[in-house]
Amino acid sequence: MAFYIRDWRMLSLAIAVTNVPFLFLSCFIPESPRWLMSEGRISEAEDALYRVGKMSNPTFNRQMVSITETKEEGPKTSSGTFDAFRTPEIRRRLLALMFAWFTCSFVYYGLTMNATSQGSNMYVSFALSGLVEVPAHLICTVALNRIGRKRCLFLAFFTGGLSCLFVDFTSSTSGLFSPLSLSLVGKMGIAMAFNGIYLFSLELFPTVIRNGAMGLCSMAARVGGIAAPLLSNYGEDITFVGFGVTGVISGLLMLTLPETLGLPLPETIEDVECWKSI
């Protein structure tokens, strides 16, 4: 689009217009059954669960959905965001994932901003940097359910990190091992990681602190996005070493976390502390 629209004001307007159709998607997205139940809208929650079940299994019928209201006895306890730091297992998971989220944003936006410096045509290089995300998301979606969450993310981070490290050591100006090719492989790897880290993080945190923990991870990602352009001030060599090192470390950290494929989501902090096997 930037190749044909050179005025930055018109380019910004054209990009904004492409997002208008997404404003109407909220009309077609069903409400969360959990939220409906929390609001006492039981019949609507049952309808939402029925629609989900019907999509998964054509033989699913309305009689299979029945929600019974229960009254809780005793005072209701709540867990705050910082309760995550009080238990060793959740603290370990949170710190590892915060670093991984930092890396995702740091490397992703760093490679995106450096895309125009690779290759002979800045428009082609930037377009390729975006196009590699299409197969990255497709591969990640399949791999997460085939080989598991942590192995998929390990391969994504590790491949992206090594590719960035090799950029500084390649002497080729074209072909498979050119800086542009290695940068694209790195972008593909980190795009896969950015896609999968959301699901993996949600499954690792218990319900009582999930929103708060995800907020801390998102904050770490925003810090990574801020750091990416600052590192570029120190030259391309140091920049790609930074991308590579953080990517490799994040990949290794994924191996220290438990696999969540096919397992029920933890509801309480105690559930996580009892489930420490990898």
Express each pLDDT in 5-42 by its tens digit: 888 898 889 889 988 888 888 788 877 777 777 677 77
- DSSP class of residue 58 equals T
Structural domains of the chain in order of their starting residue, each with its CATH number: 8-64 (no CATH), 81-274 (1.20.1250.20)
Residue of 19, 66, 17, 60 lying closest to 42 (CA atoms): 66
Looking at per-residue confidence, does 33 or 76 come out higher?
33
Hey, what long-range contacts does 132-139 have (CB within 8 A, 24 or more apart)? 132/184, 132/187, 132/188, 132/191, 133/187, 133/188, 133/191, 135/188, 136/187, 136/188, 136/189, 136/191, 136/192, 136/195, 137/191, 137/192, 137/195, 139/192
Residue of 160, 179, 172 lying closest to 107 (CA atoms): 160
How many CB atoms lie under 10 A from the CB of residue 198? 14
The mean pLDDT of 79-106, rounded to a whole number, is: 84
Top mean pLDDT of 11-25, 168-182, 240-254 is at 240-254
Looking at per-residue confidence, does 81 or 26 come out higher?
26
